[in-house]
Amino acid sequence: MIELRDVAKRFGEQVVLDGVDFTVADGETVALLGPSGTGKSVLLKHIIGLIKPDRGSVIVDGLDVPRLRRNELRQLRYRIGYVFQNGALFDSMNVFENVRLGISDTDKFDDLAYSRDAVTRCIRLVNLAPETIEKYPAELSGGMRKRVGIARAIVGEPDYLLYDEPTSGLDPVNADIIDDLVKQLDKELGVTSVMVTHDVRGAFRVADRLALLSEGKIVMQGTQQEFLASDSPKVREFLERDFQNATLPEA
């Protein structure tokens, strides 16, 4: 379970999060929506302890993340997969070595045969060709890098997955493949996930619940039906704008 209570964070004068309450139950997938620059990535980084809150608490699996000792935080991070918005691949390493670093178990990591299998399997899951594993990040397209980032996050078989816009910048076919993958991991392995996204349609397809972040607060958290039924102007504005965008090409 992931639980943020009254989390506030500012950078200098700029208040980014201003009392965020956000929960994700075990096994659940929550889509985090919100306009660009509202702090979705900042919120996600709080969950894995890359950013510490100025106020409030961040609890993951019963652990108080900002107050964890180095080793405890490390153990927790082994159980969380994080997909960075821009991939954040290590550009001095090829795809195989990049993805392999996601294997948190030391014995499995040292086992080259296991690593090869696991990396190849995950590369297939994100719909990349097996030859890709010999390439370097600079030789990949943006969408390919993003998918390598997803492979790196899932290869360690984490209990939690945090996706920062996993489908933005992908073509519709690959976006659907990633959405399906998120759903599959959720259903088959019971992974608890948070997916930051701008794609409301995709969010509806994948997520059990949705949350809308706007102006430093979670404006609304609930199911697809609750969102569609909401008459909060912020929610309406967000849904309508995105549905127009999403349905235009099909019309």
Partner 1 sequence: MPPSPQRFDLRRSIGRIVLGALAHVGRFSMLVVEFFRGLKEPKIWVPRAMDEAWNIGIGSLFIVLLVSAFAGAVTALQAGYQFQGNLPWFVVGTLVTQSIVLELGPVLTGLILAGRIGARYAAEIGTMRVTEQIDALESLGRSPASHLLVPRVVAGLVMVPVLVIFADVIGVAMGWFSARQVMPLTDADFAYGAQAYYRPFDAYYSLIKAFFFAGAITFIPCYMGFNTSQGAEGVGRSTTGAVVSASVLILLLDTLLAQLLLTV
Q: Total number of residues binding partner 1 (CB under 8 A)?
A: 20
DSSP 8-state class, residue 8: E
Tell me the closest approach of the beta carbon of residue 103 to partner 1, in angstroms.
9
Answer for the pair 132, 123: CB distance below 8 angstroms, yes or no: yes
Stretch near Mg ion under the rule CB under 5 A, chosen from 39-47, 122-130, 176-184, 204-212: 39-47
Residue closer to Mg ion, measured from CB, 125 or 206: 206
For 103, the enclosing helix (H) or strand (E) is: none
Instruction: Select the residue interacting with partner 1 from 16, 89, 148, 170 (CB under 8 A).
Output: 89
Q: According to the binding rule CB under 5 A, does residue 38 interact with Mg ion?
A: no
48 binds, among partner 1, ligand ATP, Mg ion, none (CB under 5 to 8 A by kind): partner 1
* DSSP-derived secondary structure letter, 84: -
Q: Between 20 and 51, whose beta carbon lies closer to partner 1? A: 51
Residue 217 corresponds to which tokens in the numbers above? 């607060």
Give the footprint of ligand ATP on this chain (CB under 6 A): 11, 16, 34, 36-42, 85
What separation, in Å, do the N-terminal and C-terminal C-alpha atoms of the chain show?
A: 40
Structure tokens at 163: 């996706």
Q: What 3-state class would DSSP assign to 182?
A: helix
| Binding to partner 1, residues 111-170 (CB under 8 A) | 152, 156
Residue 88 binds partner 1, judged by CB under 8 A = yes
Query: Per rule CB under 5 A, is residue 41 in the interface with Mg ion?
Result: yes
Task: Answer yes or no: are the C-beta atoms of 177 and 166 closer than 8 Å.
Answer: no
Q: Quick one: what does residue 16 bind among partner 1, ligand ATP, Mg ion, none, with the CB cut-off 5 to 8 Å set by partner type? A: ligand ATP
Contact assessment for residue 156 and residue 82, using Cβ atoms and an 8 Å cutoff: no
Tokens coding 116: 């090869």
Beta carbon nearer to ligand ATP, 34 or 158: 34
Q: Which stretch binds partner 1 (CB under 8 A): 77-85, 209-217, 222-230, 231-239?
A: 77-85
Is residue 96 near partner 1 by the rule CB under 8 A? no
Q: HSE-up of 29 (CA within 13 Å, CB side)?
A: 26
Our CB check for ligand ATP shows the closer of 36 and 141 to be: 36
40 binds partner 1 (CB under 8 A): no
* Alpha-carbon separation of residue 43 from 130, 205, 230 (angstroms): 34, 23, 24
Residue 165's alpha-carbon distances to 64, 71, 130, 133, 230, in angstroms, are 26, 29, 24, 23, 24
Nearer to partner 1, 6 or 91 (CB): 91
Could you give the CA distance from residue 154 to residue 233 in angstroms, rounded to a whole number?
37
Q: Given the rule CB under 8 A, which residues bind partner 1?
A: 45, 48, 50, 74-75, 77-78, 80, 82, 84, 86, 88-91, 101-102, 104, 152, 156
Q: Given the rule CB under 5 A, which residues bind Mg ion?
A: 41, 85
